[in-house]
Structure 1
Amino acid sequence: MTAAALAASSPRLAPVEQRVPVLLVHGIGDDASAFDLLRRRLEREGWPHVHAVSMVPNNGSEGIPVLARQVAREAEALRARTGARRVDVVGFSMGALVTRYWVQLLGGRLVVRRFVSISGPHSGTGLAFLGRGKGVAQMRPGSRLLRALQQDPRPWGSTEVHSFWTPLDLTILPASSSRLPGASERTFPVLLHPWMLTDPRVLDSVVDVLGSPAVAR
């Protein structure tokens, strides 16, 4: 039996034909290859359409809104290629904040079915005070951009939101900044920030969340 057939028959996952395309949004200093392990895992589990974005620039020199518009264009292209009405999105680190900005402020909530944030700096990170660049400054605690996101009274619309993070994170300071209001939350005892994209428990949880049958809302 093929991996797709096994996934389709698994009682914990929705049938393959019910799964929507998945967009993967990387963090600062990374590119699409940061998601190679997760992308391959989803494809083995039977997802027919998984696309990882490479944002430019990737070093935090450009602002979060500019990067969010890139993600919006990638999502529209993915929908056009697949004919899907909605997509699921997994964002890691800065990519989770970029995705949040798109979902909340650029209309992403209309097309995103499920958003999984992995170790995103949603309340900022003290480490950003050590760096330069527009995007880096916007990740500092108390930045204007973060305040605008936090003041949104109805941030998600019909988008289902999940926050995965590790209390041991030394890149997101404090680690609890990865908590996301209105999100279902899972924590993992992962020692290093980048390992959140390779830890089997995190990958299992992404598969579980994205593959769970849709609930009528």
Structure 2
Amino acid sequence: MLPDQSKKQTIDALKKSESTIRAMFNATNSLIYLFDVKGKIINVNTPGALLFNKTPQEMIGKNFKIFFEENDFSRLRMLVDKVMETRKPINYQRKRDEKYYEINLYPIFKNSNHVDGICAFVNDITDLKKTEKVFVAIETAGGICHEMNQPLQVILGSLELLKLNIEDDDPNISLINKILSQTEKLGMITKKLTNITRYETKGYLKGTIFDIDKSSEIK
């Protein structure tokens, strides 16, 4: 076989192998980042680049530092140092733009004792977090309702008895009716809390709070 032909076949095989690896790299739903211990990005798949509104070509060769806020990069730097020290993977979670991500940092070894780089696998776990919040909300609501129901029943019963024992023209009747109405509203709130099926929020001051009406099957 001629040397030039052998060289061409070798180059073609390498290109095919590289193409296959690149296709596998981009086929997964995970966001994948490969970078050295100083933070220089060696490779990133398309989903990973889209998280920063970039293309892989715009990120490869640059340092992660320019894509992060200072505090976030400092935390990443600290975790990378820990991976280098322990030579073991690290798993953690992070919130970004109202989404939750699970991040796994894996060490890449140049030899058996030296960490040469880091491979990060990032997965969107927002839906899982919402499910967890539903369970927490249901458990919390159940505990609140259990504690509230008995005193509410006592208050309602006492108000009804009080109402039966005063005249219709008594000046206190309007006050009793008002207290009775508000107590019944509290009873409806506990009923809604016992029928929580999802986790919904609403705006409140500068943040958000749990929306009982949207989260409950009772309307």
What is the TM-score normalised by the length of structure 2?
0.21
Bigger strand fraction: 2
Bigger helix fraction: 2
Higher Cα radius of gyration: 2
Higher relative contact order (CA 8 A, sep 6+): 1
What is the TM-score normalised by the length of structure 1?
0.21
